Amino acid sequence: MSHILIVYEIRDQKIKKVSFEATSAGVDLANQLGGTASALLIGSAVKDLAPEAGKYGVEKVFLIEDGGLEKFSPDVMASAIAQVAEQVGATHILMGATALGKDVLPRTAFLLNSPLVQDIIGYQVNDGKVTYLRPMLAGKLHTEVSLSSAYHLATLRPNVFPVKESPSSPEVSTLQVELPAPKAVVEEILAEAGGKLDVTEADIIVSGGRGMKGPENWYLIENLAEVLGAATGASRAAVDAGWRDHAEQVGQTGKTVSPSLYIACGISGAIQHLAGMSSSKYIVAINKDPEAPIFKVADYGIVGDVMEVLPKLTEEIKKLKSE
């Protein structure tokens, strides 16, 4: 019988949304395969979070609680997940394709002698066989992947799988595993000033390119982002010019994003940029050049100068929000 184990990501004593997305996908996969889905919470004090997992339909919640987990170590977490998988007889292990999931799950995969399908955007079950859909070349192509390994491991791209509430009363149990001595330890988390929202987690992104003409004009992007509660992004041109930090870069040598709304300001739409953002649900392009390739992927376009359009857009959205 299939047993889908969803590994939760907890930051600041809160479960990340992507873990619930992965839970909904995992529960669905369990239903399609005729199996069961469980949640795994790992940390120094995670018991209080267990009921939350019950909102999305898992049958069991497993806890690994250990004071030694207060200082986070990716290798220790990877080992704990592998041990739990063996103990509970998991067949599939799912986790969010976040900085944490992408770092930890490959290590678990190695320990279980199984490959990992990183960053999936879909899956399909045919006659009990699962194929996973994932992008390559930052989304220029999609691939359907199948596994013949003992375990199926996958990380799920945030913002792609819908969260479906399906309350259950899961049985909560604390498991014992042998935690190895950590090889690398997180000493500190250095948050960006103002607790900036990351482009990979944002529902709306306002992104700027060369057409912004310089970092001094970025307040236009930031103002719009603020009224929308959006993250700010940048094209490679803007990052390479030193206007913006690389953490904001969207595209093939930056981040691949799938927000509900992507507003491209003064971005021409080079193929490497389009690869990183064209799976956004809605795309707005503002560009002076009516021939810019960005308009080919945009749902709505305005041909015009970002310097004039952006302030007006910020003002109009402010008006709408106050209504």
Partner 1 sequence: MNIAVCVKQVPDTETRPKIDPSGKKMSEEGVKWILNPYDEFAVEEALQLVEKNGGEVTVISLGPAAVEPTIRAALAMGAQKAIRIEAEENPADPLVTAKALAEVLKQGNYDLIFFGKQAIDDDYAQVPQMVATALDLPCATVVVKLDIEGEKLTVEREIEGGKEKLSLSMPAVISAQKGLNEPRYRSLKGIMKAKKIPIETVQVELASGQLEIEKVKFPPEKQPGKIVGKGADAVPELVRLLHEEAKVI
Burial (CB count <10 Å: 0-12, 13-18, 19+), residue 187: exposed
Q: Which is nearer to partner 1, 50 or 284 (CB)?
A: 284
Tokens for 64, please give them: 């690994």
Q: Which is nearer to partner 1, 105 or 238 (CB)?
A: 105
Minimum separation from the CB atom of position 57 to partner 1 (A): 26
DSSP per residue, 249-302: BBSTTSB----SEEEEES----HHHHHHHTTSSEEEEEES-TT-THHHH-SEEE
How far is residue 38's CA from residue 221's CA, in Å, rounded to a whole number? 42
Minimum separation from the CB atom of position 197 to partner 1 (A): 6
Tokens for 20, please give them: 């619930």
Minimum separation from the CB atom of position 239 to partner 1 (A): 8
Minimum separation from the CB atom of position 18 to partner 1 (A): 10
Tokens for 38, please give them: 């469980």
Q: Which is nearer to partner 1, 132 or 218 (CB)?
A: 132
Q: Which is nearer to partner 1, 27 or 204 (CB)?
A: 204
How far is residue 240's CA from residue 246's CA, in Å, rounded to a whole number? 8
Minimum separation from the CB atom of position 219 to partner 1 (A): 17
How far is residue 154's CA from residue 163's CA, in Å, rounded to a whole number? 17
Tokens for 275, please give them: 């690869």
Q: Which is nearer to partner 1, 170 or 259 (CB)?
A: 259
DSSP per residue, 51-116: HHHGGGT-SEEEEEE-GGGSS--HHHHHHHHHHHHHHHT-SEEEEE-SHHHHHHHHHHHHHTT--E
Q: Which is nearer to partner 1, 171 or 219 (CB)?
A: 219
Q: Which is nearer to partner 1, 54 or 209 (CB)?
A: 209
How far is residue 11's CA from residue 100's CA, in Å, rounded to a whole number? 10
Minimum separation from the CB atom of position 208 to partner 1 (A): 17
Minimum separation from the CB atom of position 17 to partner 1 (A): 11
State how beta strands 36-43 and 116-120 pair.
unpaired
Residue 71 amino acid letter = K
**CB-based contact 163:128 (threshold 8 Å):** no
Minimum separation from the CB atom of position 225 to partner 1 (A): 12
Residue whose entry in the numeric block shows the structure tokens 């870069």: 249
How far is residue 120's CA from residue 101's CA, in Å, rounded to a whole number? 12
Q: Which is nearer to partner 1, 149 or 173 (CB)?
A: 149
Q: Which is nearer to partner 1, 110 or 219 (CB)?
A: 110
How far is residue 41's CA from residue 43's CA, in Å, rounded to a whole number? 7
How far is residue 28's CA from residue 30's CA, in Å, rounded to a whole number? 5
Minimum separation from the CB atom of position 135 to partner 1 (A): 7
